[in-house]
Amino acid sequence: MAKTMKQMRKPVKINPPTKPRSPRNARKAKSVTSVSSVARRSGGGGRIVAGCLAPHPPHLVYADNPPQNEPRSEGGWEPVRWGYERLRASLARATREYDAIIVHSPHWRTQVGHHFLGVPKFRNLSVDPIFPNLFRFKCDLDVDVELAQAIEERARGKGLVTKMMRNPDYRIDYGTIAACHMVNPAWDKPIVGISSNGSYKYYSNDVGQEQQRALGAATREAIEATGRRALLLASNSISHRHFTREGKLPEDMSQERIYHHGQHLWDMHAIRLMRDGRAEQLFDEMPDLIDDATSEADAGCLSWLLSALAFPTYPAELHGYGTVIGTGNAVVEWDPDPRTRQVTPRGRT
Ligand code: 2X7
Ligand code: FE2
């Protein structure tokens, strides 16, 4: 009954789930438009070069010691940082050039609508409010405002509440910066920043899911219409139960481990679905992942990405996995182009 009440307060009409959720029936009602049919209609020639799960713990940037970040470290969290090395090498292969990075971040939280960075340049100091000891990053970045606007318009056309963020003094959140930095430390590409709308928490997981499905489709259509070669980043951890006390030395890896066995099982299950090419099942199970693993997927980033990629049935490449203060972080890449797709052969995992 509580769920029905919440659905009645839903602000937009985008395919509310009509049956109780279960992995088998949750997405049967409507399938998204296929990539090829949209491309044929737009004739814009744009495409998604890769879609990545690109988690953003500020610890990763701290451990990398880039010149932009003030605090210094002795390293740490290497399994995840090696994953980012592998992802960067994969994206640097021939024919994989991209024009812009589109990043969806949990730490730019907007309660009313989906917001998009709408200022061409930002230069400021971004400080993590929880870990100011680890992340004080001098940010200097360009925004592809035209692409942002194109996504915003299409999202609005699908019934979502949207807004272009035009405040030039806005401080870019660490979820956006950390993911972009780990993927492209040269910062030589413009970005499109997308906020995380609070609908999963304010309404329900199902409402959040449907909004991200629409936002993902809008993103894909805008990329194709504007002719951009785009790299998509979903900036979130998977399981997200984290330590509540920091040790004397944050990078002391003798203290780093998963928080709870159930969290590990959910991380492995989600990764398996990605590697199996079962994106639709992962999308359907997202509400359970969110509730059972206190997952940061309640920000909608991963659901947005799966929708933008039109729910891949091809396998994703896992570049790395590791915990950061107990949270589960996987660096994963989907390559829509079968000519460049490289996937490590699987064992029993
Ligand atoms: O924002 C984060 C996170 N998602 C995971 C781990 C550690 C810190 O911050
Ligand atoms: Fe986070």
- Domain ranges in the chain? 45-334
Q: Which of 256, 325, 329, 331 to mutate to test the pocket of ligand 1 (most atoms within 8 A of CB)?
A: 325
| Percent of the chain topping pLDDT 70 | 88
128 CB under 6 A from ligand 1?
no
Q: Is 324 in the pocket of ligand 1 (CB under 6 A)?
A: yes
Pocket test for ligand 1, best of 238, 324, 329 (most atoms within 8 A of CB): 324
Three-class SS state of 243: coil
Map residue 43 onto helix, strand or coil: coil
Which residue among 105, 242, 256 has the greatest number of ligand 1 atoms within 8 angstroms of its CB, and so is best to mutate?
242
Cβ of 296 below 6 Å from ligand 1: yes
Backbone angles phi, psi at 199, to 5 degrees: -65, -30
Q: How far apart are CA 284 and CA 212, in angstroms?
A: 12
The superfamily in CATH containing domain 45-334 is LigB-like (3.40.830.10)
Residues of the chain predicted below pLDDT 50:
1-43
> pLDDT at position 348, please?
81
Question: Ligand 1 in contact with 57 (CB < 6 A)?
Answer: yes
DSSP state of 253: G
What's the pLDDT score for residue 257? 96
Say if residues 344 and 320 touch (Cβ distance below 8 Å): no
What confidence score (pLDDT) does residue 9 get?
Answer: 36
* Atom of ligand 1 at shortest range from CA of 55: 4
Minimum CA distance residue for ligand 1 atom 9 = 57
Residue type at position 225: A
The structure tokens listed for 3 are 């769920």
- 191 touches 180 (CB < 8 A): yes
Does residue 295 line the site of ligand 1, with CB under 6 A?
Answer: no
**pLDDT at site 6:** 36
Nearest CA to ligand 1 atom 7: 57
First to last CA, the chain: 40
What distance in angstroms lies between residue 294's CA and the mean position of ligand 1's atoms?
12
Contact 126, 171 (CB under 8 A): yes
Looking at the CA of residue 237, tell me the nearest atom of ligand 1: 4
pLDDT digits (tens, 9 = 90+) for 15-61: 333 333 333 333 333 333 333 333 333 447 899 999 999 999 999 99
Minimal CA–CA distance to 298: which of 216, 231, 232, 206? 206
- Which pLDDT value is given to residue 175? 98
- 57 CA to centre of ligand 1 in angstroms: 4
Instruction: Give the Cα separation of 328 and 265 in Å (integer).
Output: 10
What is the predicted pLDDT for the residue at 237? 98
